[in-house]
Amino acid sequence: MGNSPDRYPLVSVLMPVLGGGPFLAPAVESVLGQTFTRWELVVVLQGQETTDDDALLRGYQDSRLHVIRIPGTPG
């Protein structure tokens, strides 16, 4: 086993977003900047106004970032 990264568990970060605006990029970059590399980030975009957030997320080229879109307004 040694120092193999495979010996560590995969950590899943779930990030629900409703109108992330100026807070979305810093939140995503906080996860991307971790020194621990065995993670996946699942961003759940909620509501009708997801186009700006969706466009921002498409700019990240990391296979560990996954986006789920839920149309409509919660509640």
The pTM of this model reads: 0.81
In tens, the pLDDT along 38-72 reads 999 999 998 766 678 888 999 999 999 999 988 87
Say how far apart CA 42 and CA 11 lie, in whole Å.
11
Q: How many Cβ atoms are within 10 Å of 2's Cβ, its own excluded?
A: 4
Digit-coded pLDDT (tens) for 2-52: 555 678 899 999 999 988 889 999 999 999 999 999 999 999 998 766 678
- Residue 6's pLDDT is what? 72
Q: What is the DSSP letter of 72?
A: S
